A and B are shown apart, each in its own frame.
Chain A
Amino acid sequence: MHRFANPARFLRLAALILPWVSVLSAILFAAGLYLALFVSPEDYQQGDTVRIMYVHVPAAWMAMFTYSSMAVAAACALVWRHPLAEVYSKAAAPLGAGFTLLCLVTGSLWGEPMWGTWWVWDARLTSVLILFFLYLGYMALVDAFDDPQRGHRAGAILLLVGAINVPIIKFSVDWWNTLHQPASVLRMDGPAIHGDMLWPLLILALAFKTYFAATVILRMRAELAERKIQTLRLTQAGGV
């Protein structure tokens, strides 16, 4: 576990990965957007609005993935005191909040023409809104303490408590009657989505994921630099 805990080792690894994921992300976005906007067919019911899916669904997946990974990091921070786990959660939170916001707004822009409403309080939409507030709450909480260590501890606990929301989001459409339809891709009997629409979706999902990897590395590097700055300031104040 602690083999990867060393920040210097992480920074070397990150420097190695960063150019690759950045280039990969750019390629995937170009290919995905081309397929989504120019090649993929209209839906038999929803016409061109189905193209909103290629943004909405990857954003939703990333919103859930980012939160889940932050919750796992929170557990590593609380149980094993893994020094990079807190750095990761703090770096990932604004990205997760961005994905969730994107998911909510594109969902609204899709719901108005197709469902006939911008918003309803069904179990799926409400639980995703709660996810957005969990991100905001975490970011506020981590910065709310004078002692950053206590802030991180409180944030990690919030992340773990809020993790219960992730399966609720995922299965809300199966457990209860919702306006939102059940899952199209990640379901037991295979995707219920035609291949010509599935490919752009999967490619853009990968594009989002590589974008996240690249950006979270940048943010973690910034956070590690910030920690060094704090330590240097302390030694400066105490020693000089």
Chain B
Amino acid sequence: MADFFHMGGYAIYVWSSYGLALLVLVGLLLASLGTLRRKERLLRSLEQTLPRRRRRAGAGDAGGEEKP
């Protein structure tokens, strides 16, 4: 097991690489999830304050089903 962590004397290089990969990938994932949650919460609160019938100009409005 000590051998495993020792990495033939290159431990610092190998483990820093894997550590950084973990940091970058998890960091980007958490940041993306955080932004999504924040935006969706804001969107819901905005939709509640607006009268229903005004809600048709939304960019991603589901009302845009095209017909064949």
Chain A residues in contact with chain B, CB under 8 A?
Answer: 6-8, 11, 37-38, 42, 47-49, 51-52, 55-56, 59, 94-95, 98-99, 101-102, 105-106, 109-110, 112-113, 211, 214-215, 218-219, 221-222, 224-236, 239-240
Contacts and interface: CB of A to CB of B under 8 A. Distances in A.
B55 A232 contact: yes
A98 B54 CA distance: 40
B39 A225 contact: yes
A106 B39 contact: no
Report, nearest first, the 3 A-B pairs whose CB atoms are least far apart: A7-B60, A227-B59, A48-B8
Nearest to A207: B25
B29 interface: yes
Contacts, number: 129
Contacts of A215: 28-29, 32
A112 B17 CA distance: 12
Interface string B21-40: 10011011101110110011
Interface of B is mostly: helix
A11 B43 CA distance: 15
Contacts of B40: 221-222, 225
- The winner among B13, B20, B57 for most chain A CB atoms within 10 A is B13
27 contacts: A6-B65, A7-B60, A8-B60, A8-B61, A38-B4, A49-B13, A51-B7, A51-B14, A52-B13, A52-B17, A55-B18, A94-B28, A105-B17, A106-B17, A109-B13, A110-B13, A211-B29, A221-B36, A222-B39, A224-B60, A225-B36, A225-B40, A229-B42, A232-B46, A232-B47, A235-B50, A239-B54
Nearest to A94: B28
A49 B64 contact: no
Nearest to A107: B17
Contacts of A110: 13, 17
Contact of B36 (A112, A218, A229): A218
Contacts of B4: 37-38
Interface of B: 4, 7-10, 13-14, 16-18, 20-21, 24-25, 27-29, 31-33, 35-36, 39-40, 42-43, 46-47, 49-50, 54-55, 57-62, 64-66
A236 B16 CA distance: 50
A52 B14 contact: yes
A236 B17 contact: no
Nearest to A58: B21
Contact of A218 (B10, B27, B32, B57): B32
Given A229-B43, A235-B50, A218 B33 contact: yes
Given A51-B7, A51-B14, A229-B43, 20 more contacts: A8-B62, A47-B8, A47-B9, A48-B14, A55-B21, A101-B24, A110-B13, A215-B28, A222-B36, A224-B60, A225-B36, A225-B39, A225-B42, A227-B59, A229-B42, A231-B57, A232-B46, A232-B55, A232-B58, A240-B50
